[in-house]
Structure formats: structure tokens, C-alpha cells
Amino acid sequence: MSKVTFDYSKAAPFIGAHEVDFMKKQVMDARELLVSKTGAGNDFLGWIDLPVDYDKEEFDRIKKAAAKIQSDSEVLLVIGIGGSYLGARAAIEFLRHSFYNSVSKEIRKTPEIYFVGNSISSTYIRHLIDVIGDRDFSINMISKSGTTTEPAIAFRVFKEMMEKKYGKKEAAGRIYATTDRAKGSLKGLATEEGYESFVVPDDVGGRFSVLTAVGLLPIAVSGADIDKLMEGAADGRKKALEAEYEDNDALKYAAVRNILHRKGKSVEILANYEPSVHYVSEWWKQLYGESEGKDQKGIFPASVDLTTDLHSMGQFIQDGSRIMFETVINVETSREEITINEEPVDLDGLNYLAGKSVDFVNKSAMNGTILAHTDGQVPNLMIDVPEVNEFYLGQLFYFFEFACGVSGYLLGVNPFNQPGVESYKKNMFALLGKPGYEAQREELLKRL
Ligand SMILES: O=P(O)(O)OC[C@H]1O[C@H](O)[C@H](O)[C@@H](O)[C@@H]1O
């Protein structure tokens, strides 16, 4: 059966086969730290076994809640930020219709889904209120800590809107809280108000939580098959845990990106040729950025959507500072085919493509770009996804997560914390006048 695979053959001009062999010991040591749960951050390794060891009773409740939302709501609001929204958004945009929210209900069949609480914009919130209008809606409020400011503000606004529309009691039946088992304001609120609650396990950090209720509830509401997603992840897990180094794509990816990093490549650009992959890249950026960017170390994770960005960032990638390597997510089989037709008069000069598919053109652009970038001294790595479905997405999620844990240990950091994220929060709280931040407030005001 085909599967998600990693291919670094196009990077041959930059990496000798012996270099990958020489990394074996280091990679296997890093892998051992991860799977024996003896490395830094080992309180947060619940994601390793999640695809096979998850709460089945909760999984059924997720499906039931999704069915209820599908039957009583035209709109679902997913409130969350970072790991509490990117996985769900990545999956829905990858798996469902490119114009999910705008396509007719007959085609979509499931509620419109909007993400909010991932910025602090009153304009965005106001415009979303306009979009909901008088329609029936539900809310999935997601926050592991239950205390994150951005989603908390959005939740206040939409909770009030919902309670005005339905009254407190019915509103409570339309709000689903995904949060810690016991701690945090959201948990307290959910218990107090009687919201149906789902758990983010203690040992699964936000950026590794897509296969918990955090990702699964919104994904299920969109009509995607969460059983298949978990099956794919379980398959990816088996491969990552059991395959020998020589046949282990996740370990190879960790090895190769660290080899390139040690040769001075400090930026990894994740490139795609399908707009539906855009949010997979956003999810990946958080996964690698928060896991590796610390102690003044790390590969900066960037992304481009191609061929779109070849007309904006293409110049820099081809010819600017030689600091990057590129990893292409290649969806091998396009979901749809459009054939370019012949025209009697070849005014636009495209008749040479008559009879060819748009995807053929896309793949030719991809292959041409890979060679051009390689000639421009940008090493190229490739992740092949056979086709768009839940199973392969599950494999892809797990592949990236496992490789990330190994890669972080290879780099010599704790891949499972994010201490740097707190700095802006402290300043923001001080400037907002949050109780307890009085001293910092004075200091900061002097500097503004
Ligand atoms: O789920 P939450 O606790 O609200 O956290 C949401 C996100 O914000 C934090 O600041 C962290 O940096 C992220 O790792 C996390 O995914």
C-alpha cells in the first residue's frame, strides 16, 4: 500500500550518502531519548501513543457532539489559538472543499466553520458576527491552559451573543469546551455552566494535540472521517517506531535537516503546490518553531505556497542569501482534473498545452522549480503524499511530530516547552494593567 514518504535524493549535490550514515548513532540516541521517555520535556510525550491509546469513550462522544452540531447548527465557531486551532484548520482545509464555507449547502452538507480567537481584532470579530447573522450556531471553545487571552476575549463576545439569542440554558447546550481535565478558568466555567467538555490530556502539548478532541471535534463536524485519520496516524506511528534507521523516513528527515543545518542552512521553507496545504504548513511552523527555536538555536521554519509565491518570493529563494533549504509537500494525485482545451485561434499561445491537464502543468512547474532551486544552491527535500485523504493526513501528522521530537533532541534542546512565548504575554498584561504586573508596567511605560 502506498504511503507518505520522504525523499532526499534531489539533495544529493549537498549531502553525501555517508553523511546520513554517519548520523545514525546520533539519531538513534535521540530516538531512544524520545521513546524511552528519558529526555528533557518527557512529561509531554502522550502524543507518541495517542493514535493507538486514546479515550475511546470520549472519541464516541466527539462523534455524537459532531452529529448534534451538524443537525442543529448552520455555523460552528472554533475558538482557539496556536495548537488549539491550527491542526483542525489544517485538516479541514486539506480534506474538504477549497471553498468550504462558500460552496452550496448541498455540496458541503455540514455547517460552515469559522476560526476566531486566533488574533485580537475587533474588526474580524464584528465581521464574523455579520456572517453568523440570525443563523443557528454552536461554539467549540478550545484552550488547553484555559487562560489564553485571545480565545478568552472572543469567547466572551460570542458567549454573550449566544446567550442573548438562545437564553442561558439552551446556549449551554451549544457550547463545547475542550480544555484541561481539571485546571484553568475554562474548565471552571464549563463545570459551572454545564458545557459538554472534552479533555486535552496533561501529557500532550498544544502543538501535538491535533489527534485529541482539540482537532478531532471540529474535523468531525466538517464531515471528515476521524476514524481514518487515527488509522493513518497509527500506521505512521508503527513505521516511525519500528522501521530500522535505513528505512525510517521520520528519522531520515530529522537527520537530513540537521545535516543541512550544520552546513549553515538556518531556514527551512516548506513548499506546497496545492492551496489546500497552506494550513498544514501553518501547523508545521508552530510544531517546529516552538519545539526547536530556543536557547538561541534552531532552524527557522518558513513556508511558501507555490506557484503563487514564485511570483513574489521566488526571486529570493532562487538568488538571495543562501541560508535556506526547501522541503516540498507533493500531493501526488490531484483530487480533480481539468483538461486544457484547444482553441481554433491560438491567441493566448496555449494550444501547445491542449489535451494536457492543469495538474500536469502544476507538476511540471514543481519539477522545474526543484531543479532551478537546486541549481541556485537550495537543497531540496520532498515529502510525497499519495493522495488527499484522512489516512494519509494522519500519517503526515505523525511523521512530522515524530521527526520533530527526534530533531529537537539532535539539536540539543527541550522540544516540548515554549518558555519564550511568555515574554510578550507578560508585557501585554503589564500594559493592560492586569493585577500583579504593576512594577513591570511602570518600567515598560518608561520605555514606550
Ligand atoms: O490551548 P492554549 O492553552 O490556549 O494555548 C494556545 C497556544 O498558545 C500558547 O501561547 C502556546 O505558545 C502554544 O503552544 C499554544 O498552543
Order of all β-strands in the sheet with 380-385: 5-7, 380-385, 324-331, 267-272, 300-305
User: At residue 67, does pLDDT exceed 90?
Assistant: yes
Structural domain boundaries enclosing 350: 5-40+229-411
**2 pLDDT tier (thresholds 50, 70, 90):** confident
**Chain segment 308-335, per-residue pLDDT in tens:** 999 999 999 999 999 999 999 999 999 9
What pLDDT, on the 0 to 100 scale, is given for residue 410?
Answer: 98
Q: Which three cell numbers stand for residue 266?
A: 538556518
- Both 26 and 108 in one domain: the answer is no
Q: Which three cell numbers stand for residue 210?
A: 491535533
Residue 58 burial by Cβ neighbours in a 10 Å radius (0-12, 13-18, 19+): middle
Within-domain flag for 426: no
Residue 408 vs residues 32, 288, 324, 372, 413: alpha-carbon distances, Å: 13, 8, 18, 30, 6
Taking the C-alpha atoms of residue 377 and residue 14, their distance in angstroms, rounded to an integer, is: 8
- Both 104 and 244 in one domain: the answer is no
Q: How many residues are listed for the chain in this entry?
A: 448
Residue in 144, 202, 288 to alter for ligand 1 test, most ligand atoms within 8 A of Cβ? 144
Is the beta carbon of 84 within 6 A of some atom in ligand 1? yes
- Residue 418: count other Cβ atoms within 10 Å of its Cβ: 19
> Helix, strand, or coil here: 421?
helix
425 CA closest ligand 1 atom index = 10
- Residue 388: count other Cβ atoms within 10 Å of its Cβ: 18
- Both 253 and 306 in one domain: the answer is yes
- Both 16 and 102 in one domain: the answer is no
User: At residue 189, does pLDDT exceed 90?
Assistant: yes
What pLDDT, on the 0 to 100 scale, is given for residue 336?
Answer: 97
Q: Which three cell numbers stand for residue 189?
A: 466555567
User: At residue 1, does pLDDT exceed 90?
Assistant: no
What pLDDT, on the 0 to 100 scale, is given for residue 66?
Answer: 98
- Both 248 and 221 in one domain: the answer is no
Within-domain flag for 418: no
- Residue 64: count other Cβ atoms within 10 Å of its Cβ: 11
Residue in 78, 140, 421 to alter for ligand 1 test, most ligand atoms within 8 A of Cβ? 421
Is the beta carbon of 426 within 6 A of some atom in ligand 1? no
Question: Which one from 290, 292, 326, 401 is the annotated catalytic residue?
Answer: 290
- Both 256 and 318 in one domain: the answer is yes
15 alpha carbon to ligand 1 midpoint, in Å? Answer: 36
User: At residue 129, does pLDDT exceed 90?
Assistant: yes
Within-domain flag for 103: yes
Average pLDDT for residues 417-422, to the nearest whole number? 93
Q: Considering 227, 253, 284, which residue would you say is the last residue of a domain?
A: 227
Average pLDDT for residues 427-446, to the nearest whole number? 94
Taking the C-alpha atoms of residue 155 and residue 110, their distance in angstroms, rounded to an integer, is: 22
421 CA closest ligand 1 atom index = 12
Residue 198: closest CA among 187, 188, 189: 187
Taking the C-alpha atoms of residue 128 and residue 112, their distance in angstroms, rounded to an integer, is: 12
DSSP codes, 328-374 = EEEESS-SS--BPPP-SS-TTS-GGGTT-BHHHHHHHHHHHHHHHHH
Are the C-beta atoms of residues 21 and 185 closer than 8 Å to each other? Answer: no
Within-domain flag for 425: no
**Chain segment 4-49, per-residue pLDDT in tens:** 999 999 999 999 999 999 999 999 999 999 999 999 999 999 999 9
Is the beta carbon of 81 within 6 A of some atom in ligand 1? yes
Are the C-beta atoms of residues 199 and 55 closer than 8 Å to each other? Answer: yes
Is the beta carbon of 187 within 6 A of some atom in ligand 1? no
What pLDDT, on the 0 to 100 scale, is given for residue 207?
Answer: 98
Domain CATH code at residue 403: 3.40.50.10490
Is the beta carbon of 179 within 6 A of some atom in ligand 1? no
Within-domain flag for 213: yes
Is the beta carbon of 93 within 6 A of some atom in ligand 1? no
207 CA closest ligand 1 atom index = 16
**Chain segment 101-121, per-residue pLDDT in tens:** 999 999 999 999 999 999 999
- Both 238 and 219 in one domain: the answer is no
Phi, psi of 306 (to 5 degrees): -115, 155
**Chain segment 331-389, per-residue pLDDT in tens:** 999 999 999 999 999 999 999 999 999 999 999 999 999 999 999 999 999 999 999 99
Q: Considering 188, 209, 227, which residue would you say is the last residue of a domain?
A: 227
**167 pLDDT tier (thresholds 50, 70, 90):** very high
Q: C-alpha angle with apex 38: 262 to 146, nearest 5 degrees?
A: 90
- Both 216 and 182 in one domain: the answer is yes
Within-domain flag for 208: yes
- Both 205 and 322 in one domain: the answer is no
- Both 34 and 53 in one domain: the answer is no
Which conformational region is residue 326 in: left (phi greater than 0), alpha (psi within -120 to 50 degrees), or beta?
Answer: beta
Residue 258: closest CA among 405, 420, 47, 439: 405
Split into its structural domains, the chain has a count of 2
| 160 counts as catalytic | no
| 290 counts as catalytic | yes
Q: 496545492: which residue's cell?
A: 274
Mean pLDDT of the chain: 97
Taking the C-alpha atoms of residue 324 and residue 272, their distance in angstroms, rounded to an integer, is: 16
- Both 272 and 150 in one domain: the answer is no
Within-domain flag for 132: yes
Q: Considering 227, 246, 279, which residue would you say is the last residue of a domain?
A: 227
**Chain segment 135-160, per-residue pLDDT in tens:** 999 999 999 999 999 999 999 999 99
40 alpha carbon to ligand 1 midpoint, in Å? Answer: 19
Within-domain flag for 444: no
- Both 92 and 21 in one domain: the answer is no
